[in-house]
Structure 1
């Protein structure tokens, strides 16, 4: 019997037969991956500009806060020395700093709450009135918003002047001085800040209300909901992303108020009774030539604003809201 042997040919090695070996081709980047970088390319010029305008000044602010930097160092009479956290220790050991910080927090909170209340109320009012009154209200609000802070502050000081102002005559207050007392001065500044801040909230919230489907509001009205219930249960939840933006913006603006306080209280009021952190930093840096302490106050303000913003956003995220 003949044994038949079957020969199995081993697979030829690449390139053994003389044919060139094929190199694996790299897969082209997916369109989604390419498009992910496209927005950043468009934003790159703005990011570079903002980096130069914001990052470098913040770096210099933080650097000066760790140095001994007074008029002697500015003029070159004495060398600049590194103080570490010495300026912050001096600042936190000053009882006036804590009084000014508390006054700033309370004043900014009152301004933010008043601005949000008036702005949202007028935004709802704009949806309830006819075209001509709506146009008049919008133009008046935009005029207040466009007025420079120093101009508006000067006009408000004249309106409430105890000798020539028309407000005291209309209210029958005689020669009552609004800027003499601590709380009356803060109230006057609050009114001016509210006057120039509520238009931003009003216009932004009004645009958001216009984007809400009218069927939703009509259904709530047919169910017997009052205007306050419609706002609280229907409008406010749908406008939450917009309200987040205007709240954070109002906190930043009102916490660092400077011009209104400085102009209307003549640099912080009698014996500094109306000081806020921004005016306090200005006095330390430029009136007392303690630039390092003024920079330290600026760093503290920056940290406080960042902390408030991050905590607020964290609370919103916990509620499951999309930003």
Structure 2
């Protein structure tokens, strides 16, 4: 007996009404896929890592160029490392803080440190004073003299330190220098005396450093609202009073930046002292810490003491940098 398979046919809907769920669905649910909103982009699970990924190449280069040399500097400063150890004639031995004790017990080190601090302080004062004075002058002269002054200043700034030092030595040479002839000083030697040599180097350092202070301060003055300067002029304030009571307080963040940077740069002066005083002057009378470290490390082959001097300089400059950052935060600057 055969069984017939019945196929149930769906009865047509009355009056054309849809009977299936797909047909009963609203038209907006059956819209094409292209009309639907795009899928959301899944956010990164660790968004805080993204900046570090971009900074990673620069950090690797910085670690290779800065962190590793500083590590080697600190390592050599606690070892006995002289020419005998460099040549392999004697083994390297750990000295701990003995090199620092020897350095701090050396009277010449304290004399050089004091000379460095005084010299750097005078350079900073001269650089900031000349730079700020010329910045104010730039706001009071016409366009052509302003352009010429800016070009001359930037030319001094762009001159390499060794080139500028050589030119200044030529200008003040006791035999054929034009400065002695113009001043009628005969064969006066500017580098023979300690203070005259420091003064000559100071002038050269200020000459090559003031352009940055001038440009930055001039930009800050141009950002001051003109109404403020007009009000000061109406109150009868002169140039000095306007600077002291109006511009200096408003430019305090700018002045802090250029002053701290000048301290760091002038504390590390090497080329000018070495070239203009022939390695530190007669009997080392014009030594600063950078030149003193160079002489200890390379002239005397006392690499450990030279490295210890470098570590002391690094600590001093780190302290200055911390003061710089603290002053920036006090002025509301983001770090």
Measured against aligned partners, the alpha-carbon deviations of 1:66-118 in whole angstroms (never above 9, x if no partner) come to 11111111111111111000100010010000000000000000000000000
Number of equivalent positions: 292
For 1:1-323, list aligned pairs within 5 A: 34=47, 39-314=51-326, 320-323=330-333
Instruction: Identify the residue that residue 8 of structure 2 maps to in structure 1.
Output: none
Q: Is contact 1:66–1:85 with CA below 8 Å preserved after alignment?
A: yes
Secondary structure of residue in 1 paired with 2:89:
coil
Q: Distance in 2 between matches of 1:229 and 1:42?
A: 49
Q: Distance in 2 between matches of 1:39 and 1:159?
A: 52
Secondary structure of residue in 2 paired with 1:275:
coil
Q: Distance in 2 between matches of 1:37 and 1:234?
A: 45
How much does 1:257 deviate? Answer: 0.4
Instruction: Identify the residue that residue 31 of structure 2 maps to in structure 1.
Output: none
State the TM-score, normalized to the length of structure 1.
0.86
Structure 2, unaligned runs of 5 or more: 1-41
Q: Distance in 1 between matches of 2:181 and 2:283?
A: 28
Q: Is contact 1:262–1:268 with CA below 8 Å preserved after alignment?
A: yes
Q: Distance in 2 between matches of 1:45 and 1:216?
A: 46
Measured against aligned partners, the alpha-carbon deviations of 1:20-46 in whole angstroms (never above 9, x if no partner) come to xxxxxxxx879xx94x66555544432
Q: Distance in 1 between matches of 2:135 and 2:54?
A: 34
Q: Distance in 2 between matches of 1:192 and 1:292?
A: 32
Q: Is contact 1:241–1:322 with CA below 8 Å preserved after alignment?
A: no
> What do you get for the CA RMSD once the two structures are aligned?
1.9
Instruction: Identify the residue that residue 27 of structure 2 maps to in structure 1.
Output: none
Q: Distance in 2 between matches of 1:40 and 1:210?
A: 37
State the TM-score, normalized to the length of structure 2.
0.83
How much does 1:215 deviate? Answer: 1.7
Change (3 A) 1:44 1:239: farther
How much does 1:313 deviate? Answer: 4.3
